[in-house]
Amino acid sequence: MAAHLKKRVYEEFSKVVQIPHEEAPAKKLRLSKPSKSAALHIDLCKAANSTDALQYLLQFARKPVEAESVEGVVRILLEHYYKETDNSVRLKIASLLSLLSKTQGFSPDCIVDDTINTLSNEKSHQVLAQLLDTLLVIGTQLPESPTVRQRLIEVACKHLSDTYFGVRNKCLQLLGCLGIVDAPVNKDEGPGTLDVQTIISDYFADQDPRVRTAALKAMLQLHERGMKIHQIIYDQACRLLSDDYEQVRSAAVQMVWVLSQLYPESIVPIPSSNEEIRLVDDAFGKISHMVSDGSWMVRVQAAKTLGSMLQVSPHFLEQTLDKKLMSDLRRKRTAHERAKELFASGEFSSGRKWADDAPKEKLDTNTVNLIASGACGAFVHGLEDEMFEVRIAAVEALCQLARSSPSFAEKCLDFLVDMFNDEIEEVRLQSIHVLREISTHITLREDQLDTVLAVLEDSSRDIREALHELLCYTNVSTKECIQLALLELLKNLNKYPTDRNSVWKCLKFVGSRHPTLVLPLVSELLSTHPYFDTPEPDMDDPAYIAVLVLVFNAAKSCPTMPALFSDHTFRHYAYLRDSLSHLVPPLRLPGRKQVYSLDSVDVGSGSGSVESAQLFLQQSLNRVSTIQNLEAPGAQDLLDFTIRDLQRLGELQTELAGAADFCATYLRCQLLLIKALQEKLWKMAVPLCLKQNVTATAAAQQILEETYKLEFLYCGLESRQVAIIHHVRLQAKALQLILTARTRLESVHAHNINFFSMISAPCRLFLAELPQLQDSFVDKLLELMPRLSSCKPVELVKILQTTLRQSGLVQLKLPEQIHGAKATIIEPTGESDNPLRFTSGLVVALDIDATLEHVQDPQNAVKVQVLYPDGQSHVIHPKPGDFRKPGPDRHRLITQVYLSHSAWTEPSQIEVRLLLAYSSSSNSLSSSASKGWSDSIDGIPPPEAAVEGTIPLSKPVKVYIMPKPARR
């Protein structure tokens, strides 16, 4: 017995002893993984020459280094740095030090001293510049360490005298990024103490242009960090505007602009003159002179800079549009001043010698640069530049200056109109947009309007629509201008029928802005006669509709105009008011019983209508919260009435349409859930309730679809609303599980596992919003989670059924702004009875024109669906270039869809609609919540895979097509 016991003890002991031997290889691997410094040391020791060492360093640079290993790796690198004689290897080590200093989680203050010590014995200028760059990286990583900052500034000042331009550049960068203006810094080369700005400004005159550029950029860096630049630097920066080097001039333009914004009212003298001028005016003239620079990049920058100098005096601003220079670049004296000077000198011209009254002093025109000569014709030169980038910059600068000065806007109008004839489409488009922005300050003359309307012949749709937008907000001076604009717009409509809606919208605004100018043209436009009846025009003619839109919008502000209408005009008004209500306004027509009166349409359009609608919306939601106290029929009726009220509210109050539709959709989900959970359905035996079971299954599926609409079709949702949406979706999935268990009990176990995987992500999201979800389904579910994870499938179904029926309605609280995404297909209209014919097997292009509102990321989310009569469905993803953005939260889709099919015996309709693609993984709110709570719930499986799908975004449009058999 004792021997047997000894044997057992020995076996157990041998097992214990063998465990370390078995785990020894794994332990060795675990230790060697973070030891980057040891591996690097071994590699560098194996290097036979500098080439091998460089190869090892290049391989090491491709591998990531943990924060805890950085310091050891730096020590190994510095140790090898002192041994290495090859400059390229030391240069690579210096760059690796810079790279390692940026490692996240590593504080580089422990390697500052070692890095600074490497500078003392370094002879290579390139390596020295790289080491200074490493110090710059370290300094930016330690912004709250004044001691380190002071040491780095001293190092930069010490090496500023280096002969290599790269070293001086890095020193200036160090001073610009780390320098402190108020603290004096010792400079070894000169006695006393100087501030950082003085040190940097000394290198404005450096012999190397790259150093001069670096000095200017360092000074600009100080300004960006909030340090006020000294005004004495202004003269130095002005001299650098005439530098031979392009980059120096570019940086000098920025420096002059900065000083003009800091000291706009300071007085500076004009060279070679006794006059003085404001600094901002002087800077404006000098930067205007740079618009004629030899480098197009400097010209672009100068033109852009001029647009932001809004404090310049008006007479200097207007001088930029005048090419006429002053006589000999100097101010001309008046005749009185000249006579006074001659009288004081006692000399008059005898007339015996030629030009004996000429001025005695000699004038060097190169030294005289008055403000008028600099600013003279600056924008004229910019608008006539050979580079289109300069012309665009000049147009944008004119726009910025004209918006703040109505008088300047009137003077630059002719120049902007001339840009409509530019050869580059981008310049034409930009000039149209600019004129649109300053349209409130201008009124077009007939000759200017003629030039503007000539652009309607442009083949670019973007250009034409931009011009239509311009005409909507522009005033014209005479009735001839109205007649000319209408004529050209009708020509445009005839040449480009796809511009129909844009032209009609343009004429709507033209008529409403110029009612008194349209009034004398009404008889001519409508072809009416005081004595004779005229034929009734065709209402299907887009040109006639365009004329009516112009006249009816003018008649809204002109009560005498309807007296000139004929009988058929009143009938046409009633027709258009029904069919094109967004283009035809409500009119009060005398002597006629009108449904469309101003009083009846404008009811509720007062200032308090939005507030009262919001109050009604909130009261409706509060009323719904009482359905817990009602029986099932009463709760259903209350939800039905509330949904109907909210839908009507969205139709009447467009500002609250998104919020009202969101609430109505949410309540519709609750109504479907209540109907599916009716008591009589669950008391029947399974074979007797198959029909009701099918109804409940359809309701659960519809609730799921509605929740995806709620989550992805509306923008402006907060985390609370997203949590409520996931709560409803979880209820629908629980209902699906219960219904599956009633029909297929054998598959409940698989659905049980799937249900837990589906609720994991919502549960993690609900933890942040749990205080607001008391007594809800998910609240009860979390309480029962330990019991659910271990119970049998049949018991699980019973618990879920009871919990689902006893859970309360979650009160919906709306955020300030909810907007629903929607789309409207403009083309095709679906009204044509003429089929689109093409040869079967080949393709035909169908033009799609649609407007999108409140769609997030339309380039990736919006798709076009084509549904054929035989059930085939094609989904097309438009190109990113097919989307335009005419305004905030608005997009325009102009694309082509290619159709193809086999031969048909007769034409049939296809349906075209826009879809919004969504993916549940793209919801950053739920994904971040899931990530944050991934370890806080025990027993919950990983979240479900991303659910992808599409939501209808627009109403379908039907198009007739006719594939014909190919001829043989």
- The residue ranges of DSSP E strands in 426-532, in sequence order, are 443-444, 475-476
Mean pLDDT of 28-48: 53
Joined together, the tokens standing for residue 713 give 């079709």
Report residue 939 CA to chain centroid gap.
Answer: 42
**Highest mean pLDDT (candidates 79-88, 279-288, 321-330, 343-352):** 279-288
Rounded CA-CA distance 60/50 in Å is 15
Task: Considering only residues 768 and 860, tell me which one the structure prediction assigns the higher pLDDT.
Answer: 860
Report d(CA 394, CA 381) in Å as an integer: 9
**pTM of the complete model:** 0.68
Structure tokens at 420: 């409509």
Best-predicted range by mean pLDDT (49-58, 476-485, 710-719): 476-485
Taking CA atoms, 139 is separated from 69, 173, 176, 778, in Å, by 21, 11, 12, 51
Is 909 in contact with 960 (CB distance < 8 Å)?
Answer: yes
Which of the given ranges, 311-320, 364-373, 930-939, has the highest pLDDT on average?
311-320
Q: What is the per-residue pLDDT for 95? A: 82
The rounded percent of the chain whose pLDDT value lies above 70 is 74
Nearest one of 474, 378, 471, 458 to 426, comparing CA atoms? 458
Residue 100 confidence (pLDDT) above 70: yes
At 510, the pLDDT band (50, 70, 90 cuts) reads: very high
> Does residue 804 contact residue 734 with C-beta atoms inside 8 Å?
yes
Q: Which residue has the tokens 């008889």?
A: 523
- CATH number belonging to the domain at 821-921+945-964, selected among 3.30.930.10, 2.60.40.1120, 2.60.40.10, 2.40.110.20: 2.60.40.10
931 pLDDT exceeds 60?
Answer: no
The arithmetic mean of pLDDT across residues 49-74, rounded, is: 75
Residue 508 pLDDT greater than 90, yes or no: yes
Distance, CA of 676 to CA of 670 (rounded, Å): 10
Q: Is the pLDDT of residue 432 over 60?
A: yes
1-24 confidence digits (pLDDT tens): 444 544 444 444 344 334 344 444
Report the pLDDT value the prediction gives residue 254, as an integer from 0 to 100.
Answer: 92
Q: How far is CA 53 from the centre of its chain?
A: 48
Q: How far apart are CA 102 and CA 119, in angstroms?
A: 20
> What is residue 615's predicted lDDT score, i.e. its pLDDT?
81
Q: What is the pLDDT of residue 37?
A: 55
Q: Residue 745's closest CA among 785, 798, 783, 702?
A: 798
What is the mean pLDDT of the segment spanning 395-419? 88
pLDDT band of residue 647 (cuts 50, 70, 90) is confident
The residues, ordered by sequence, that sit 6+ positions from 658 with a Cβ below 8 Å of its Cβ are 650, 714, 716, 817, 818, 819, 820, 854
Answer for the pair 58, 92: CB distance below 8 angstroms, yes or no.
Answer: yes
Dihedral angle computed from the Cα positions of residues 769, 775, 777 and 780, in that order, rounded to the nearest 10 degrees: 100
User: CA-CA distances (angstroms) from residue 472 to 34, 149, 407?
Assistant: 68, 58, 22
Average of per-residue pLDDT values in the chain = 76
pLDDT at 534: 76
Residue 375 has pLDDT above 70, yes or no: no
902 pLDDT more than 70? yes
Structure tokens belonging to residue 275: 């006059």
User: What pLDDT score was predicted for residue 787?
Assistant: 65
pLDDT, tens digit (0-9, with 9 covering 90-100), for 575-608: 888 888 888 998 877 655 544 433 333 434 444 5
Predicted local distance difference test score (pLDDT) of residue 781:
65
Tokens in use for 236? 């130095």
* Band of pLDDT at residue 269, cut at 50, 70 and 90: confident
Would you place residue 482 in the very low, low, confident or very high pLDDT band (cuts 50, 70, 90)? very high
pLDDT top residue among 491 and 52: 491
Give 229's DSSP letter: P
Per-residue pLDDT averaged across 120-136, rounded? Answer: 82
Task: Please give the Cα distance from 714 to 97 (Å, whole number).
Answer: 49
Q: Is the pLDDT of residue 34 over 90?
A: no
Look at residue 546 and tell me whether its pLDDT is greater than 90: yes
pLDDT at 343 over 80: no
pLDDT of residue 259: 92
Output the DSSP codes for 101-166: HT-TT--GGGGHHHHHHTTTT---HHHHHHHHHHHHHHHHH-TT-HHHHHHHHHHHHHTTT-SSHH
Q: By three-state DSSP, how is residue 871 classified? A: coil
- pLDDT of 185 reads 47
pLDDT exceeds 90 at position 486: yes
∠ CA(288), CA(291), CA(293), 5° rounding? Answer: 125
CA 921-926-928 angle, to 5 degrees, is: 95
Residue range 235-326+369-441, CATH number: 1.25.10.10
Confidence of residue 865 (pLDDT cuts 50, 70, 90): very high
> Which comes out higher in pLDDT, residue 737 or 493?
493
> Mean pLDDT across the stretch 805-832?
78
In the predicted structure, residue 928 carries a pLDDT above the cut 90: no
Q: Which residue has the higher pLDDT, 266 or 86?
A: 266
Predicted confidence (pLDDT) at residue 910 exceeds the cutoff of 70: yes
**Residue 553: pLDDT over 90:** yes
Asked whether residue 31 carries a pLDDT value surpassing 80, the answer given is no
pLDDT at 204 over 60: yes
pLDDT at 504: 93
Residue 929 predicted with pLDDT over 50: no
Using alpha carbons, select from 329, 333, 328, 322 the residue that is nearest to residue 369: 329
Q: Are strands 836-839 and 957-964 parallel, antiparallel or unpaired?
A: parallel
- Return the residue matching tokens 């077009």: 444
Each residue of 581-595: b (16+ CB within 10 Å) or e?
Answer: eebbbbbebeeeebe
- Tens of pLDDT, residues 669-700: 888 887 777 755 565 555 555 555 677 778 88
For residue 342, pLDDT over 70 is answered with: no
Average pLDDT over residues 49-60: 76
